[in-house]
Structure 1
Amino acid sequence: MRVEIWTDIACPWCYVGKARFDKALEAFPHRDQVEVVHRSFELDPSLAKGDIQPVISMLTKKYGMSEAQAQAGEENLGAQAAAEGLEYRTRGRDNGNTFDMHRLLHLAKEQGRQDELIQILYRANFAEERSVFSEGDERLVELAVEAGLDAADVRKVLTDPTAYADEVRADEREAAELGANGVPFFVLDRKYGVSGAQPAEVFAQALTQAWGERPPLKLLDDGAAGGADACGPDGCAVPQH
């Protein structure tokens, strides 16, 4: 079974939602047969690469709220994160363009390190004092190397703005086609969608339902003509002459 998750590194509910989903997946009996794929979604694709500002300032401008309201929202998110065992800096974080991070996540996917990288990027953005936005490309290289990627490969992607750009845009178009206008957005076997950072119990129920409704395997010969020779629990059939 495949689970696709549309997220953005700048999205705090994606950070919390991943922890809740991971908790449900860890307890899922068939977890070893579940493939998780992270898809790209930018909360603000209009941001230029150098457009960096404090999170509180961004929230007040974008949503028309007061600084006190924005800070209260951050405190609430900090409490939600703590309940999932996550660290969350409620003050001093900044916000910026995440396109390069999404491109690196596609590189990581090719190398089987996507989940490692997204977890490290979340931690760096929400829990650490150093910025993933203002320190330049070398900060992203450092984090990608921590996830198991080769530094030269990462620098090559970051210096080529076209590398994996089509993949990111394709993910974003697909999100729109699926009706996702916010993240996190979870799609299970292209049959069920779960929107938002739902409780782990909701994810557990969705995994169970999606797994139980998978169509049974249908053999093409359906047993016609006795089928071909094969081996089974009782051994291998030996042709009799």
Structure 2
Amino acid sequence: MRVEIWSDIACPWCYVGKARFDKALAAFPHRDQVEVVHRSFELDPGRAKGDVQPVIAMLTKKYGMSAAQAQAGEDNLGAQAAAEGLEYRTRDRDHGSTFDMHRLLHLAKEHGRQDALIQVLYTANFAEERSVFTEGDERLVELAVAAGLDADDARGVLADPDAYAEEVRADEREAARLGASGVPFFVLDRTYGVSGAQPSEVFEQALAQAWGERSPLTLIDQGDADACGPEGCAVPQR
């Protein structure tokens, strides 16, 4: 079974939602037969690479709320994250473009390190004091290496603005086609969708339902036919 997760590194509910999904997946009896693929979704796709601002300032401008309201929301998110065992800095974080991070996630997918990289990026953005937006490409290279990627491979992607750019845009077009207007957005076997950072119990139910309704393989009996198996291949009789 394949689970695709559309998310953005700048999305706090994606950070929390991944922890809740991971908890459900860990308890799922068939977890070893579940492939998880992370898909790209930018909350702020038009933001320039060098356009960085404090999270509170971004929230007040984007949603028309007061600084006090924005801070209260961050405090609530911090409590939600803590309930899942996650660290969350409720103050002095910043916000910027995540496009390069998504491009690196596509590199990581080719090397089987996608889940490791997205977790490293989430932790760096939401829990650590250093910024993922203001220290330049070498900060992202450092995080890519922490996730098990080669430093030169990561630098090569960041130096080429076209590297994996179409893959990111394709993910975003697919999200729109599937009706995802926000993230996190979970799609199970292209049959069920789960929107938002739902409780772990909801993910447990979704996994069980999607697994239970998978179509079994139907064999068409066409009589004996030559084939190869664990014991070898059939010997032609004529």
TM-score by length of 2: 0.96
Give the superposition deviation at 1:218: 1.8
Match of 2:133 in 1: 133
Report the Cα distance in structure 2 between the residues aligned to 1:225 and 1:108, rounded to whole angstroms: 46
Which amino acid is 1:60 matched to? T
1:113 has 2:128 as partner? no
Q: Assess if the C-alpha contact under 8 Å between 2:226 and 2:234 holds in 1.
A: no
Q: Assess if the C-alpha contact under 8 Å between 2:10 and 2:95 holds in 1.
A: yes
Name the CA shift for 1:117/1:229 in 2 (closer, same or farther; >3 Å). closer
1:223 has 2:221 as partner? yes
Query: How many matched pairs?
Result: 238
Match of 2:82 in 1: 82
Name the CA shift for 1:162/1:230 in 2 (closer, same or farther; >3 Å). closer
Report the Cα distance in structure 2 between the residues aligned to 1:196 and 1:231, rounded to whole angstroms: 45
Report the Cα distance in structure 2 between the residues aligned to 1:106 and 1:121, rounded to whole angstroms: 13
Q: Assess if the C-alpha contact under 8 Å between 2:41 and 2:172 holds in 1.
A: yes
Which amino acid is 1:43 matched to? L
1:172 has 2:172 as partner? yes
Give the superposition deviation at 1:223: 2.7
Match of 1:102 in 2: 102
| Identical pairs, percent | 82
Report the Cα distance in structure 2 between the residues aligned to 1:9 and 1:194, rounded to whole angstroms: 19
Deviations 1:83-104 (A, max 9, x none): 0000000001000000000000
RMSD: 1.9
Deviations 1:54-83 (A, max 9, x none): 000000000000000000000000000000
Q: Secondary structure at the match of 2:155?
A: helix
Match of 1:52 in 2: 52
Structure 1 segment 204-219 matched on structure 2, within 5 A: 204-219=204-219
Deviations 1:163-206 (A, max 9, x none): 00000000000000000000000000000000000000000000
Report the Cα distance in structure 2 between the residues aligned to 1:189 and 1:120, rounded to whole angstroms: 26
Q: Secondary structure at the match of 1:225?
A: coil
Match of 2:197 in 1: 197
Name the CA shift for 1:136/1:209 in 2 (closer, same or farther; >3 Å). same
Which amino acid is 1:56 matched to? I
Deviations 1:201-230 (A, max 9, x none): 0000000000011111122xx232145467
| Unaligned runs of at least 5 residues, structure 1 | none
1:151 has 2:148 as partner? no
Which amino acid is 1:160 matched to? D
Name the CA shift for 1:237/1:197 in 2 (closer, same or farther; >3 Å). same
Deviations 1:116-157 (A, max 9, x none): 000000000000000000011000000000001000000000
Q: Assess if the C-alpha contact under 8 Å between 2:19 and 2:84 holds in 1.
A: yes
Structure 1 segment 4-43 matched on structure 2, within 5 A: 4-43=4-43
Q: Structure 1 residue runs of 4+, over 6 Å off?
A: 236-240
| Unaligned runs of at least 5 residues, structure 2 | none
Q: Secondary structure at the match of 2:223?
A: helix
Report the Cα distance in structure 2 between the residues aligned to 1:115 and 1:229, rounded to whole angstroms: 38
TM-score by length of 1: 0.94
